[in-house]
Structure 1
Amino acid sequence: MSLRSKASAALFAALAALPLSLAGAVTPAQAAPVSIDNATQFTDPAGNPVHAHGGGVVKVDQYYYWFGEDRNADNTFRYVSVYRSTDLKTWEFRNHALTQATDPELGSANIERPKVMYNAATHQFVMWMHKENSADYGEARAAVAVSATVDGDYSYKGSFRPLGEMSRDITTFVDTDGTGYMISAANENRDLHVYRLTADYTGIQAQVQNLWQGSSREAPAMFKRNGVYFLLTSGATGWAPNQQKYATATSITGAWSGLKDVGDSTAFRSQTAYVLPVQGTAGTSFLYMGDRWGNSMGKSVNDSQYVWLPVKFPTKTSMSLEYSPQITVDTAAGTVKGMNVVWETLAAQHSGKCADVANYDTSDAVQLIQWGCGAGANDQFWIKKLGNGYVQIMARHSGKCLDIAGASTADGALAVQNTCNGQPSQQWKLRATDTAGYVEIVAKHSGKCLDVVNTSTADGTALDQWTCSGGTNQHWRRTTV
């Protein structure tokens, strides 16, 4: 072999070995855009539910690490679990980062709203959380744990009341200059305190704000966009959802605006957990991450659903949230988008009340009823043309389609929502009536009309199908939301 051939062979061998020597540094390929259904529970690749309730996210290289509450059946603390993803849809379980066995203090505790920050100076990941005992909410303490790796076993450093003040729902924030902050509900949730952390993020250096004293705000989430700080909070109504509000400032320690409403009156039946910046080649979008608490539905924390929405910014100092049953996330581009469709209400002529999916339920086979218009996303529908003279009618809150129970052709068969599948009982013809502005909604499979039972005007009356008669309880007015 010539010297040139030997040199080429050596170079090839060195290059071939290089990926092996750098195996620990290899990052995953950029994720493709994904569609994420709202008001559901994520599952990991093994089919297990993802329990990251009240959680927060930290990004390391190409991975997003999601930490959150994983509770026992009686709602007491079991784990702070951590999952990772490149696309924000497929979540791989990594570790129970904190457990009851981590420290004796955690053996009978409630741990809520864990948030993790990376400290570039100490090369440590620092977790802050709200700590209570398992019997009541009398402790009102903050707690700290640390780890050298993002998804490792965290070492518990204990709990305390910051500067002697009560501390319940918390969040953390790292500013662009590396300063760390912890924000917590204080004084029996009446006030919201902002603390500047020590250089290693494990302690309190000073309280720098006492915001909106007496206004009872909790579930804080802070983020920064184009030099403006946003602080999103919910009211303090236990597990029941409520109107969320936000404020803005150009300095954390300076003057903050008054509180402004965002989203609908129940935050689409959710409560703030975190607002995540998603940065990519096209810029940075912001993702609202909320919990629809299982407890608000008569269940447990581990039955909670996730509500994720794109945050929009009408102006530099304002934000808005609109509900979408499905969002599209492209982490490579840094985009988060909802469904770009027209939502409408359907009001019965005889009562003036709207078609509504009962109890805001997102399950299959839930009945449609009539109710006073404006109840929420469960009385809003996307009327999608199918190209065959028929339409599909999708409920906004659930992403499910208007259907007739059991695909029955009988008079009186109930109108329900079911997972959209395109079958004839989910296809409808909108037929003009002799009353201007109203249509009949006719099922393809039966030729019968969507009808309010017995021409009742009462809230809660069921919708069914019935032989078309021209009655005003079969006439529907479409109104764009």
Structure 2
Amino acid sequence: MSASDRWARRTRAHLAAVTGVVVTAGIAAVTLATAASAASGCQVAYTTNTWSGGFTANIAITNLGSPLTGWTLAFTLPGGETVGQGWSATFDQSGPNVTAASASYNGSLATNASTGIGFNGTFSGADYPGDPTGFTLNGTACTGSVPTAPASPTPSRTSSPTATVSASPSPTPSSGSAGPAVQNDVFWKDTAGNPIYSQGGGVLKVGTTYYWYGAKYNGAVTYYNNPGAGKNGDTSFNAITAYSSTDLVHWKFEGNVLTAADLGGAGWVGRIGVARNPATGKYVLISQLDSELVFATSSTPNGHFTKAATQSTIANVVNDMSGDQSVFVDDDGQAYLAFSNRSGRSHLYVARLRPSDFLQVEPAVNIANSSAGGREGNIMFKHAGTYYFCSSDLHGWNASHTYCITSSKVASGYSAEFVMPGTDADFSHVTQTGLAFAVNGSAGSFVVFGGDRWSDFAGNGIGYNDWMPVTFNGTTPVFHSLSQWSVDAAAGTWSVGGGNNYVLNPSVEADRVAQSTMAGWTSSANVANHAGGHTGRWSMAQSASSAYTASFAQTIALPNGTYTLSALVKSSGGQNSANLYAKNFGAAELDRAINQSIGTWTQVSITGITVTNGSIQVGVSSNANAGNWIYADDFTLVRTG
């Protein structure tokens, strides 16, 4: 089966216009220069993935006119569709009329620059009503018109960065999946359009409904309202929230199931899990509460929980209490606490919850010890009879590789530690292990890795919750780092989303600290991460105090098709050459010149990249003079056809 066959998906595509790039034979690279004066115009590509009663729409917007500092896209839905959760824009709907206003981080669109937005929607009736037939951008009809006197592409030869093969495995979707899209790298919203606040929690499936519990911290609200202000240290507890979903995308807010007042006032509350006790029929919530554990019960999974017990020590544990923890429920309904020890977190444990009521953690079993530093963010899941205990580095709130051990028994016989494949190139999609749960359906099964980005306390980008599919090569779990993926929870299948960004570590946030080599990328001399990004804390920088060359590259395996490459850049200008580029995709290299002065974050793009060999190298290269510099951030490589 060919690569394109493996990646085939059912889509409906509407192109408001099609433009191309002409490459002259024999030219090593083509620089796509921005016209000094551009006529008004825009282009929209609207692509949908549909299923019974619902669809995901991915919208690629290209500004063909003068540079924009903010934009609103408007269109009309033809058949009574309803807009649900959206991303990368603020959506508003009045009857069939929809507007999408730019977010703070993508409002600047230079001439010929592109950005991607999207939403999940619903419709009534058996058949999808169809795509919008017209779009306007800031009131201008998107007819695909181009500047009347475009600048001719300027040939320029560029130095070639050293290629690297991505450490992340190529995403291999399960077959037959079609459903709503999980959109990562954004702040999630519930079905009422309100921000989802759920961190350090867990998911419990009851019947066909998934219940998601987590903590709402006051600092999370602050960061959501103004992420540009950076991280904060406000871990003060607001409530434990509960959300429910049958499709793992549309989450209904069930309420605050436990509040600070319920706990008689609280300092630290976190690392929350819920399990149903088979003997009592009660749902039992377990959480850290300052230096001890608290237990609360409810007769329903979404009902208000009542404090029932506390526990100040766990037997057989170094320093007597958990550091990080999660709740794991085995196939027989027995619940366990998976955790590392307080103060050091180098000892890993599994402890059974008292079977009669789950209101006590029984003496723990030390299943492994870490010789390479502490392990936190401890999670546990089971697949095909194998237990997996996974953790992160001891990095506070920051992103990490995911480290796992496995066994055929819940509390003994665990393997040596290994790094989960797929988590190395972008440190688990710039997250820390947060939660995990199995999705078992009529046609397949996989595990959802719920990564906590902790942006409120780490400042490493947009969004708190980033969930990824985990598949299995024998007993080896494989992490698929995706910005967008579709899921059919009933079938137990998933597929790569049409709006997925194929660049790993696109905002260079994964490394957490100053580095000259960034995760997922190959760098030459004179490259480092720079404290000051478009989103998050970091961006890529090329600079030196004497004349220099520099390269920053990533090689990506991906399905054949047409793509747009974009990045946010700043530049001193004055370089002999400096380019955003795409190469080794089956055709001549394409460049976008960035050796002019660019004082504010500006999106630059290369459109119409037709991949025919299942691979591409993207990056930034420069041949520069002393004191010249370039910053680049938020790389995207999105399929448009």
- TM (norm. structure 2) is 0.52
Letter in 1 for 2:448: L
Give the SS at the match of 1:267.
helix
- Taking a change above 3 Å as real, the CA distance of residues 84 and 186 of structure 1, as seen in their structure-2 partners, is same
Residue of structure 2 equivalent to 1:180 = 335
What secondary structure, in the 3-state scheme, does the structure 1 residue paired with 2:314 have? helix
Is residue 306 from structure 1 mapped to residue 457 from structure 2 by the alignment?
Answer: no
Cα deviation, 1:103-154, whole Å, max 9, x if unaligned, reads 32xx03211011111122211111111221xxxxxx2x22211110101110
1:294 correspondence with 2:452:
no
2:473 counterpart SS class: coil
1:53 aligns with one of 188, 195, 199: 199
Whether the aligned pair in 1 keeps the contact of 2:482 and 2:502 (CA below 8 Å) is no
CA drift of 1:369 comes to 4.7
Equivalent residues in 2 for 1:44-443, closer than 5 Å: 44-73=190-219, 74-104=234-264, 107-132=265-290, 139=291, 141-164=292-315, 165-188=320-343, 189-199=345-355, 200-212=357-369, 215-262=373-420, 263-264=423-424, 266-298=427-459, 305-316=464-475, 318-338=476-496, 352=524, 363=535, 369-370=541-542, 391-393=563-565, 411-413=596-598, 426-428=605-607
1:393 aligned partner, one-letter code: L
Aligned residue type for 1:190: S
| Residue 454 (str. 1) matches residue 610 (str. 2) | no
Deviation at 1:169, TM superposition (A): 1.2
Separation in 2, partners of 1:385, 1:415: 34
AA of the residue aligned to 2:179: P
Deviation, 1:255, is: 1.0
Whole-Å separation in 2 of the counterparts to 1:206 and 1:226: 27
Residues 101/429 of structure 1: CA separation in 2 closer, same or farther (3 Å cut) = closer
Change (3 A) 1:182 1:197: same
Structure 1 pair 426–169 and aligned structure 2 pair: CA distance change class (3 A): same
| 2:440 aligned partner, one-letter code | Q
Is the 1:232–1:247 Cα contact (8 Å) retained in structure 2? Answer: yes
**What is the aligned length?**
383
Counterpart of 2:250 in 1: which secondary structure?
A: coil
**Structure 2 runs not aligned, ≥5 long:** 1-176, 220-233, 507-522, 544-549, 568-579, 582-591, 611-615, 634-641
Unaligned ranges ≥5, structure 1? 1-30, 133-138, 396-401, 419-424, 432-437, 442-449, 465-481
Contact 1:58 1:65 in 2 (8 A): yes
* 1:280 partner letter: G
Kindly report which structure 2 residues correspond to 1:29-40, keeping only aligned pairs within 5 A, or say none.
33-40=179-186
Q: How has the CA–CA distance of structure 1 residues 124 and 38 changed in structure 2, closer, same or farther, with 3 Å as cutoff?
A: same
**Alignment-derived partner of residue 471 in structure 1:** none
CA distance in 1, matches of 2:473, 2:526: 30
Shift of the alpha carbon at 1:292?
0.7
Greater RCO structure (CA 8 Å; 6+ sep): 2
Distance 1:360-1:40 versus aligned 2 partners, 3 A rule: farther
1-side partners of 2:491 and 2:314: how far apart? 42
Q: Contact 2:439–2:445 (CA<8 Å) still a contact in 1?
A: yes
Aligned residue identity for 1:250: S
**Structure 2: which amino acid aligns with 1:322?**
H
**Secondary structure of 2:285's aligned partner:** strand
Partner of 1:435: none
Contact (CA 8 Å) 1:197, 1:206: kept in 2 or not? no
TM-score (norm 1): 0.68
Give the whole-Å Cα distance in 1 for the aligned partners of 2:484 and 2:631: 27
% of aligned pairs identical? 25
Residue 182 (structure 1) shift: 1.1
Look at both structures and tell me which one has the larger radius of gyration over its CA atoms. Answer: 1
Q: 1:206 to 1:358 in 2, by over 3 A?
A: same
Cα distance between partner residues in 2 of 1:45 and 1:356: 41
State the 1:176 CA deviation: 1.7
User: Which structure's residues are more often helix, by fraction?
Assistant: 1
Deviations 1:186-233 (A, max 9, x none): 141231221112112111233233421665211111111111101111
Distance between the aligned counterparts of 2:418 and 2:432, measured in 1? 16
Shift of 1:83: 0.7
Cα distance change, pair 247–373 in 1 and its aligned pair in 2 (3 A): farther
CA distance in 2, matches of 1:52, 1:311: 21
Root mean square deviation, CA, Å: 4.2
